Amino acid sequence: MDNVKQKIEELRQKILYHNDLYYNQDMPEISDYEYDMMMEKLKRLEKENPELITADSPTQKVGGTAKRQAGVLVRHDVPMLSLQDVFSREEVDAFVDNMKQELVNPEFVVEEKIDGLSLALRYQDGELKRAITRGDGIVQGEDVTANALQIKDIKKKLKDKIPYFEVRGEVYMTREAFALVNEKQELLGKRLFANPRNCAAGTLRQLDSKITKERNLSMFIFNLQKAEGKDFITHTQAYEFMHKQGMKIIHSYKVCTTKDEVWQAIEEIGARRGELPYDIDGAVVKINDFAQRETVGATSKVPRWAVAYKYPPEEKETKVINIELSVGRTGRITPTAVFEPVQLCGTKVERATLHNQDFINDLDIRIGDTVRVYKSGEIIPKVRCVIKEKRPDNTVPFVIGDTCPVCGAKTIRDDKADIRCSNPHCPAQIERWIINFVGRDAMDIKGFGMMYIKTLIENNYIKNPADIYNLYMYRDELIEKGLIGKEKNTDKLLLAIENSKKNAPWRLLCGLGILNIGKAAARSLLNHFGSFDKLSKANEDEIKEVNDIGDISAKQVYDFFQDEDNKIMLEKFKQAGVNTEQEVTANGGKFSGLTFVLTGTLTTMSRNEASELIQSLGGKASSSVSKKTSYVVAGENAGSKLTKAETLGVKILTETEFLTMAKN
């Protein structure tokens, strides 16, 4: 029993972690399918062990938590429940059979399940008064009316002046609109959105409604929540009325009466999902008659009158026409399969990474092979397997080779499976090096996009990161050649470069691209040594004294600082005025040895800023609460992490107490 209890608790914590990323941060790390499978496993374990079900389990809750950034919190008139997910025809048939047993001649409506963000619209006397996100689904959501007014699909005024009319729909982003947003993000040097759903959710919560308008969101209405002054008998009747009012309803729906008809409608939606201009993550089967919906009712989490069928991850066969090699910032050579284009999850796919030579050998993938491809997390294309019975006779095993595909230098294989270019001045390495250096995890130079980096390298203005800080000397020349744009764009980028000189020195260290030295290691090193001068004079044993720095990382750091070219580059940074020193306390920082967990919405800073503050003071910022957690910092609308901290007896700090602790 203890083992089952542990499994259930581990699953709950994983699900709560991914819930927070999905609902509250719009940054999911796993696919919907992987999440659904995790939730199904938890449901099964709880069903087998009902005595272990708790009120705070993810299976007993709806949605995320409402946040205040985009507006005030508003109470729901009608709960915005989630749907019960099903994954097989047997489960769909069981739902239809159950409804037929409880109801007299029920009709079922089958329609697309749009992959977006749920939104309720409230109309009074025919005018839109409020738009509310799902939030916690039961009690309250966020008022995002100002942003909703910027969405062209949302009807601002109805033709009929009904006293009260509330509908629910899904805000989404077409793939075309999503591509344009990410194109702009890349040009500005900002983080790219993982998928249209994330982008739509983040956009709807923006404080600046101009951004919402620019990003061109869309919306489908999929349900009548409440109406006063007009009666409706069925879901489809309500749809017809909404359509006449000019509202954009889910246009692809079918009324069915039998199991076969329901399944056929689901298969028809699935067959055309790749041709749609937007993403769907399933098909919804719902009872058509409103009175019958009332009869079967709902649980605390889901309506009993509807289910959502989730399609399995899509896979397709295609032919490999080439295997290309690219060189990264550390010299790592990455093979990529180029294949005949196929449609997967609504987008054209024609490339997938093959990782390294060992991966190629294990798959035995060759140019000319027929392969089965899929999207991991419905985002990243991957090769599942080679269909060897379709292999042509003239194929040969693919070998990466012993020379760099860009500069021709000799390649070396490291202790793992990676093959690297041995030339530190390889043009491809320099490009990736600079991209890493200016990125948000390093020097975070806003607006320094890939296009500018390539252009400046090609025109010999940048040969290493230190050259970035000499660009101001060529201002007039850059403007005249139009390499960064006109005067305004050039000056904006040069100002961002100048401002980056004040960054904490760990950002500079992280940007140098030393193998195995990411953000955490860079912070630890600078917290310990305090300056680049002291770090550069340290031997390997002294470097290994730093927490979490092992033998390999210590050697990489030591070798970097002994290299003559690197010494010249570091001197250029100092001469340019880039910050290379920070204060260090005797114990490595006042938060040294302490682990913090942040939960809820902070009012004076973002979670990322709070995490950076913790780490700058020598502490550790963790995403999950355990007995080893020193403090939980609880902001507004703190949820399950706060509850768990209270259960474990972990010390809880308010935001004010946390800031006071950091300053004193």
Q: How far apart are CA 295 and CA 104, in angstroms?
A: 11
DSSP-assigned letters across all residues of 435-462: HHHHSTTTT--TT--HHHHHHHHHTTS-
Q: How far apart are CA 337 and CA 319, in angstroms?
A: 10
Rg (CA), the chain: 28
Q: Is 82 annotated as a binding residue?
A: yes
**607-616 and 655-663 are packed helices; what angle lies between their axes, rounded to 10 degrees?**
30
Q: Is 32 annotated as a binding residue?
A: yes
DSSP-assigned letters across all residues of 62-94: -S----STTS-EEE-SS-----EEE-SHHHHHH
Query: What tokens appear for 160 in the block?
Result: 């009929």
Helix, strand or coil, per DSSP, at residue 596: strand
The angle subtended at Cα 105 by Cα 102 and Cα 110, nearest 5°, is 95
Q: How far apart are CA 579 and CA 504, in angstroms?
A: 7
Q: Is 134 annotated as a binding residue?
A: yes
DSSP-assigned letters across all residues of 339-388: EEEEEETTEEEEEEE--SHHHHHHHT--TT-EEEEEEETTTEEEEEEE-G
Helix, strand or coil, per DSSP, at residue 599: strand
Q: How far apart are CA 422 and CA 429, in angstroms?
A: 10
The answer to whether 218 and 174 have CB atoms below 8 angstroms apart is: yes
Query: What tokens appear for 250 in the block?
Result: 């889910």
> H helices of 474-590, where?
475-481, 487-500, 505-511, 519-529, 532-537, 540-544, 551-562, 564-576
The answer to whether 268 and 309 have CB atoms below 8 angstroms apart is: no
Q: Is 385 annotated as a binding residue?
A: no
The CA distances from residue 339 to 175, 247, 355, in Å, are 22, 42, 16
Q: Return the bridge partners of 73, or none.
A: 142
Query: What tokens appear for 272 in the block?
Result: 């055309």
Q: Is 112 annotated as a binding residue?
A: no
Q: Is 444 annotated as a binding residue?
A: no
Phi and psi angles of residue 535, each rounded to the nearest 5 degrees, phi first: -65, -40
Select which of 41, 43, 67, 113 is catalytic.
Answer: 113
Q: Is 310 annotated as a binding residue?
A: yes
The answer to whether 309 and 267 have CB atoms below 8 angstroms apart is: no
Phi and psi angles of residue 419, each rounded to the nearest 5 degrees, phi first: -110, 130
Q: How far apart are CA 501 and CA 580, in angstroms?
A: 9
Q: Is 559 annotated as a binding residue?
A: no
Query: Cα 279 to chain center, whole Å?
Result: 16
Q: Is 426 annotated as a binding residue?
A: yes
Please indicate whether residue 113 is annotated as part of the active site.
yes
Q: Is 286 annotated as a binding residue?
A: yes
The CA distances from residue 12 to 40, 53, 56, 599, in Å, are 12, 11, 9, 16
The answer to whether 63 and 52 have CB atoms below 8 angstroms apart is: no
Q: Is 421 annotated as a binding residue?
A: yes
Annotated binding site for Zn(2+), which residues? Answer: 404, 407, 421, 426
Residues designated as active site: 113
Annotated binding site, which residues? Answer: 32-36, 82-83, 111, 134, 170, 286, 310, 404, 407, 421, 426
Annotated binding site for NAD(+), which residues? Answer: 32-36, 82-83, 111, 134, 170, 286, 310
